[in-house]
């Protein structure tokens, strides 16, 4: 667009380039051209070949970073003007807002888990979660607020069925708070069902006391908990949903409710199977038509997935 920016080398490395991200084969190949040590140049090129594929995959699995490669192949020293083209920019991290603007005007709440894992080069930490964890109260942070697919249905009386795993609980706390505020304003709000899944109740029951209070108050009509590691047989949210087949069919098919799933990708197919079971066993839907019904719900924004 004809505009230019001036940045210091520190700004490029600390705030713009994904120095602690995982490089592609293209970076290895490009770096080889700058290696003054013949053996290092040869290995960098070898890693991009079919013969070096196993070693390269091992590096990806071990989360070897751009910084690691630059330190390992010390003779390769591309100038900063080349690095800005060779290293990908830091990608934005998207977090669901875990609060209602009506209940908390002027602020947003986030539900973030700090990520740590071991590697052959030492312990690692998630880039953004490490940054957030190191902040002090009052520190300024640059953020942007973007529209979300997670929206309450247009009618306050429509049933809401939510399924969240781990930090995927975040948008549902916002939903519940929003309806709590509307209820305080005298609005008749519809039933809300929450399925929450994590490994251990003692360590990962996020916002548990709040949800228990909303459940006792009647705003949160149904609270279904699945802590997979707290008993011998693993229990997941899809198991709880299968137990509630009648409730799901009634809420979604008979009363125009909306269903939301937020969290990791892996349970999406099992959750769909539980929904198919509900529709066919209690909703009068033929097995051959169940998937079509779910697709129709998706098209009408009544079956919404935010998985990652």
Residues sharing a CB contact under 8 Å with residue 91, sequence separation 6 or more, in sequence order: 18
Is the pTM higher than 0.85? The answer reads yes
Spell 89-126 as b/e; 16+ CB within 10 A means b.
ebeeeebbbbbbeeeeeeeebebeeeeeeeeeeeebeb
The CA distance from 110 to 112, in Å, is: 6
- CA separation for the pair 216, 65 (Å, rounded): 49
Cβ neighbours of 41 (radius 10 Å): 18
Q: 304: Cβ–Cβ under 8 A, 6 or more apart, which residues?
A: 149, 150, 258, 259, 260, 261, 298
Mean pLDDT (the chain) is: 95
- Predicted confidence pLDDT, tens digits, the chain (308 residues): 677 778 899 999 998 999 999 999 999 999 999 999 999 999 999 999 999 999 999 999 999 999 999 999 999 999 999 999 999 999 999 999 999 999 999 999 999 999 999 999 999 999 999 999 999 999 999 899 999 999 999 999 999 999 999 999 999 999 999 999 999 999 999 999 999 999 999 999 999 999 999 999 999 999 999 999 999 999 999 999 999 999 999 999 999 999 999 999 999 999 999 999 999 999 999 999 999 999 999 999 999 999 98
Q: Where are the alpha helices (DSSP H) in the chain?
A: 9-11, 25-32, 38-46, 53-61, 66-72, 80-86, 127-133, 170-184, 201-204, 208-217, 237-243, 245-249, 268-282, 290-299
Picking from 287, 274, 294, 249, the residue whose alpha carbon sits closest to that of residue 163 is 274
Of 156, 238, 234, which is closest to residue 191 (Cα–Cα)?
Answer: 156
- Could you write out the DSSP letters of every residue in 244-303? THHHHHIIIIIS--EEEEEE-STTHHHHHHHHHHHHHHHS---TTTHHHHHHHHHHTTSE
| Residue 274 contacts residue 238 (beta carbons within 8 Å) | yes
Report the alpha-carbon distance of residue 111 to residue 220 in Å, rounded. Answer: 20
Integer Cα distance of 210 and 138 in angstroms: 26
pLDDT digits (tens, 9 = 90+) for 220-250: 999 999 999 999 999 999 999 999 999 999 9
The 10s digit of each residue's pLDDT in 27-75 is 999 999 999 999 999 999 999 999 999 999 999 999 999 999 999 999 9
Sign of the torsion angle spanned by Cα atoms 235, 239, 241, 246: negative
């Amino acid at each position: 667009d004809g505009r230019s920016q001036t940045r210091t080398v520190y700004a490029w490395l600390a705030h713009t380039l994904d120095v602690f991200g995982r490089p592609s084969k293209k970076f290895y190949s490009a770096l080889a051209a700058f290696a003054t040590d013949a053996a290092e140049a040869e290995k960098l090129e070898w890693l991009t070949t079919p013969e070096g594929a196993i070693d390269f995959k091992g590096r990806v699995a071990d989360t070897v970073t751009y910084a690691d490669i630059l330190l390992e192949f010390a003779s390769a020293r591309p100038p900063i003007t080349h690095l800005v083209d060779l290293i990908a920019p830091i990608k934005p991290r998207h977090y669901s807002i875990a609060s209602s603007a009506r209940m908390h005007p002027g602020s947003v709440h986030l539900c973030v888990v700090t990520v740590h894992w071991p590697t052959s080069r030492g312990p690692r930490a998630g880039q953004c979660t490490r940054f957030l964890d190191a902040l002090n109260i009052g520190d300024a942070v640059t953020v942007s607020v973007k529209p979300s697919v997670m929206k309450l249905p247009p009618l306050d009386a429509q049933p809401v069925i939510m399924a969240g795993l781990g930090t995927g609980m975040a948008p549902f706390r916002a939903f519940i708070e929003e309806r709590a505020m509307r209820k305080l304003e005298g609005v008749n709000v519809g039933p809300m069902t929450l399925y929450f899944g994590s490994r251990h109740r003692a360590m990962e029951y996020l916002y548990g006391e709040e949800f228990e209070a909303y459940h006792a108050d009647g705003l949160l009509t149904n609270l279904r908990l699945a802590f997979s590691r707290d008993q011998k047989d693993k229990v997941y949210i899809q198991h709880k949903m299968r137990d509630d087949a009648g409730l799901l069919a009634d809420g979604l098919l008979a009363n125009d409710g909306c269903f939301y799933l937020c969290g990791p990708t892996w349970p999406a197919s099992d959750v769909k199977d539980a929904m198919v079971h509900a529709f066919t066993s209690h909703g009068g839907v033929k097995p051959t038509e169940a998937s079509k019904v779910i697709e129709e719900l998706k098209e009408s924004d009544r079956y919404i997935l935010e998985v990652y």
